[in-house]
Amino acid sequence: MHKLLMAGLFRLKKSIMFWLFIFFTIGIAGYTLFRHSVNDGTPLDTLVNEFIVYIGLFIAIFVSIFVGKEYSEGIIRNKIIVGHSRANIYLSELIISIVTAVICEIIYLIMILTIGTLMYGKLQMSILQFGISILNTILIIIAYCSIFNFVTMLCSEITVSTTICLLLFITMFIVQGSLGLTVNSKKYIEHTFYDENGNRYVLSQEPNPNYPGDQKVKIAKVIYLLIPNAQANEVQNNSFENTNQMPFYSISLIIVVNIVGIYLFGKKELK
């Protein structure tokens, strides 16, 4: 495994995709700081988690091309010939992808927290909330890498794997949006008002005729929280009610996807 990782890191340093990933990360961080600079009173909390919404698309492109090139250049086949196990090859590709994405996330956070603190002040969320946010961000990155590594390691054609990864990302995005409507459905319609101090008062409430039902909401929520795009949306919105539950869903998804991926890759015939 050590030799595979060292070889992978050496290829990574020479990869154009890796440096493009970093370039776009810096660009998004700079654009985020500039875009919010025109809005007075924007809290730093709003900026710190924005990159997680974009990173899934970057990971889909990076993994499908970086790992796909190993197929097209015969590198994966050569690794097996010299005696490396398929499980180690699969996991080494996954680890390289995770390292790449985490490096970019760290670059984004450093730029936002250093420059953003000067522009917008300190974070308003607690240290615990920030810690949970970072944990979920890392797990979402690992989940994305696991899914796209799964697709790429089982598909020998780089063009096909890239297309599938991009379509899968778009599909997850659409499903996340659809399920989000169900998950966030309100059981009751409330009539409220706010006093001069900003305090909210409920005057009355009535059943929501469009509420899908408790059972459907529970099922939708489970599926919703298993989708990395949905988790990224929750992290970006600082929805601490759901983010406290998300590590369980992320870890479950990561374990299942990689176990199935290693098994199927072990059965795959390489040309």
pTM attached to this predicted model? 0.88
If pLDDT is split at 50, 70 and 90, which confidence band does 193 have? low
197-219 pLDDT per residue, tens: 666 666 566 776 777 777 888 88
Q: Is residue 102 part of a domain?
A: yes
> Domain range for residue 140?
2-169+240-267
Q: Looking at residue 40, what is its pLDDT? A: 61
Residue 200 three-state SS: strand
- pLDDT, average across residues 172-193: 78
Other beta carbons less than 10 A from residue 157's beta carbon: 12
Total tally of structural domains belonging to the chain = 1
Q: Is residue 215 part of a domain?
A: no
Q: Looking at residue 192, what is its pLDDT? A: 66
Q: Do 108 and 51 form a contact (C-beta atoms < 8 A)?
A: yes
Q: Is residue 44 part of a domain?
A: yes
Residues 6+ away with beta carbon under 8 Å from 34: none
Share of the chain above pLDDT 90, in %: 36
Q: Looking at residue 20, what is its pLDDT? A: 92
Residues 6+ away with beta carbon under 8 Å from 7: none
Q: Is residue 196 part of a domain?
A: no
Q: Is residue 9 part of a domain?
A: yes
Q: Is residue 177 part of a domain?
A: no
3-17 pLDDT per residue, tens: 888 888 888 888 898
If pLDDT is split at 50, 70 and 90, which confidence band does 67 have? confident
If pLDDT is split at 50, 70 and 90, which confidence band does 130 have? confident
C-alpha 35 chain-centroid distance: 22
Q: Looking at residue 162, what is its pLDDT? A: 92
Q: Is residue 209 part of a domain?
A: no
Q: Is residue 155 part of a domain?
A: yes
Q: Looking at residue 140, what is its pLDDT? A: 94
